[in-house]
Structure 1
Amino acid sequence: MENSSSSQAEALNGTWAQAHRAEILENPLQTYLLGIIISICGNVLISVSLNIQKYAHVRQSQRGSKPYYTSALWWCGVVLMGVGELGNFAAYGFAPASLIAPLGCVSVIASAIISVVFLKETVRASDIVGGSLAITGTYVLVTFAPHTSTHITAHLVQYYSVSWYFLLYLFLEIVLFCILLYLYKVRKVKHIVIVMLLVALLASLTVISVKAVSGMITESIKGQLQLIYPIFYIMLLVMIASCAFQIKFLNQAMKMFDATEVVPINFVFFTASAILAGIVFYQEFEGLALLNIFMFLFGCLLSFLGVFLITRNRPKIKQQDRNFIAMSRIPGTRHTDTVQPEAKTPTYGSLAAKLMCNRADQTDDS
């Protein structure tokens, strides 16, 4: 009896392993390309929405009439951003997470191009070099990324969630997060790396949960209902909570540091955490050749350098101060040309100029 029960258990385990392997290996090329296209389109829409909101802010500040949230153009940008983020969310259900995350550099490239064409920002040599590196890196990582993606089901997410390597990874992440949070909140260490690491650790959980939720919704649409399992709602809760705290720390970083520092560091850390999450939780690099892994990481490095060059010392749009009055519009402009006399005259200097203006006023009044 014991031998028969053990043989039955081994047969069940073998059947489960074969089904699991077939589920991983089954991924049509059309589905893989669909995920890439959806992600690229979503990132382009995000960059368009950001520039529309930037233009709305500039226009409203110059007019100085109504708040920015009363502008229809600003709301159009918000809607486009929502559509773009929804596209990125859907892309995780079709392609590996380690590929979708690095494609975020498309948003930086498109934003730089739109800023130059429509917002009339200056084209720098670093923009051209950075854009070329980012495009090359995107092509390399798409070519050598893992071309297999798991069909995400509730049973598969449960199987991955209790694996020992993910539990070890989660334990180390929690310990590191607690240490960084102690340094940031208690010790008051306000360093950009600490804040960005907190965001990246939360982003790792976000990527895992987003891919799980998106994959289960995709399978449900195909006809295999996954929304009846508790693991779906657990992942949905993790996704919402991690996104909320991630946005909180990211906003704090934007208040303390310049955007030219936050954007490239956040992109590098987020991409690295997303790739690591895909490797550990979804085993996306399993069976991938060493050359493919090296070229994929090389493509990510090129994208990192490109984003850094594009965002480095980015020129800001000059906004006119509402409290500023042009010299030509000041009453009594006929005296403004004598505020600063010629250096060769004996009355050179601010005090002498003031006395000279007062003398001129008395003469006009007389």
Structure 2
Amino acid sequence: MATQVQSPMSWRDSYRGMSSDNIKGLVLALSSSLFIGASFIVKKKGLKKAGASGIRAGVGGYSYLYEPLWWVGMITMIVGEVANFAAYAFAPAILVTPLGALSIIISAVLAHIILREKLHIFGILGCALCVVGSTTIVLHAPQEREIESVTEVWALAMEPGFLFYAALVITAVFILIFHFIPQYGQTHIMVYIGVCSLVGSLSVMSVKALGIALKLTLSGMNQLVYPQTWVFTLVVITCVLTQMNYLNKALDTFNTAVVSPIYYVMFTSLTILASVIMFKDWDRQSPTQVITEMCGFVTILGGTFLLHRTKDMTDGLTTSMSSLRLSKHAEEDGMDGAEGIPLRRQDSSRS
């Protein structure tokens, strides 16, 4: 009696591939990162020009509003944000948000070329890790949740878990703005970026809801008649204006190559957390997929950490080389660099 031998399943058979909506979201997210990464540099140039002739944004000035170069960067960022907005309408946040790593790479490289902000060799390695981590998440991202009305999104937002998260975020933002920013805004980078990231996690959830509403409206199911659509619109406008204000302060006060990766890590982490709570992305995935996504995200964190350390390592090397040159010149001049005492006088006193 002949036995039927089953052929081993190939990877093509086991891999289901990405849905058409996920592919659209992927393309839009990549385009968004290109525009946003370049906008960081253009806006930084505009902020520098505005600060040279007026009050810097980092100390509360708004002279950058009169600088055309800043508006070019702002328009570039708006184009990127529009593409990002559309991406959230087609793909889950856990797929779209980590692709912001590409904007880190672009801004770091352009900052090295245009702004002369040093990019260490380990910074290049960090960029590569960001790409690897993003690719891992893209290949294992969940399919988009099927939603047929904006009221479904509103019901998800009104669940106790997400309401508790939103209350924590709003409380933390008010504490940072009214207590920590007046004292530590100019010295601690995490204060400004903390506000941007916390508010950003709420704005992404509202952007996704609004994007779904517009997509359904264009497909023939009018969602503009629901008041929930306009509530989400109001939340988006409020959050985006808050993010823009404090991101400008962070860019004007601190190094761009440091602001971009730290902002990305915090923003992405909080957005994924908010999406998991609100849209329950991981409920539609196996434990293996979830663990793989987390490994990809940790890889991205490692890349952004290396990008952050690039500035410190470069500055440290420069400082140590400068001190070495000063010490060498001091010895040649017969002076002790530490105490300013002539070496020859010390020798004569010992004899």
What is the TM-score when the length of structure 2 is the normalising length? Answer: 0.70
CA-based RMSD of the aligned residues comes to: 3.6
Q: Does 1:232 align with 2:229?
A: yes
Q: Does the 8 Å contact 1:46/1:107 carry over to 2?
A: yes
What SS does structure 2 have at the residue aligned with 1:105? helix
What SS does structure 2 have at the residue aligned with 1:227? coil
Alpha-carbon distance change, 226 to 137 in structure 1, aligned in 2, over 3 angstroms: same
Q: Does the 8 Å contact 1:216/1:227 carry over to 2?
A: yes
Matches within 5 A, 1:128-147: 128-147=124-143
Counterpart in the other structure of 1:19: none
Counterpart AA for 1:252 = K
Counterpart in the other structure of 1:361: none
What SS does structure 1 have at the residue aligned with 2:282? coil
Counterpart AA for 1:285 = W
Counterpart in the other structure of 1:352: none
What SS does structure 2 have at the residue aligned with 1:93? helix
Counterpart AA for 1:196 = I
Aligned residues: 288
Counterpart in the other structure of 1:94: 90
Q: Does the 8 Å contact 2:107/2:257 carry over to 1?
A: no
* CA deviations over 1:239-284 (Å, ceiling 9, x no partner): 1111222223333334544434432221111001110111111111
**The 10-residue stretch of structure 1 (260-269 or 74-83) with the greater mean CA deviation from structure 2:** 74-83
5+ residue gaps, structure 1, are 1-26, 317-342, 344-366
Counterpart in the other structure of 2:6: none
Distance in 2 separating the partners of 1:169 and 1:152: 25
- How big is the shift at 1:50? 4.1
Counterpart in the other structure of 2:285: 288
Alpha-carbon distance change, 185 to 84 in structure 1, aligned in 2, over 3 angstroms: closer
Q: Does the 8 Å contact 2:216/2:223 carry over to 1?
A: yes
Matches within 5 A, 1:1-366: 29-51=19-41, 77-114=73-110, 124-151=120-147, 153-181=149-177, 183-184=179-180, 188-190=183-185, 191-311=188-308, 312-313=310-311
Q: Percent identity?
A: 29
Counterpart AA for 1:278 = S
Q: Does the 8 Å contact 1:94/1:149 carry over to 2?
A: no
Alpha-carbon distance change, 169 to 144 in structure 1, aligned in 2, over 3 angstroms: same
Q: Does the 8 Å contact 1:152/1:212 carry over to 2?
A: no
Distance in 1 separating the partners of 2:24 and 2:36: 18
5+ residue gaps, structure 2, are 1-16, 53-62, 316-332, 334-351
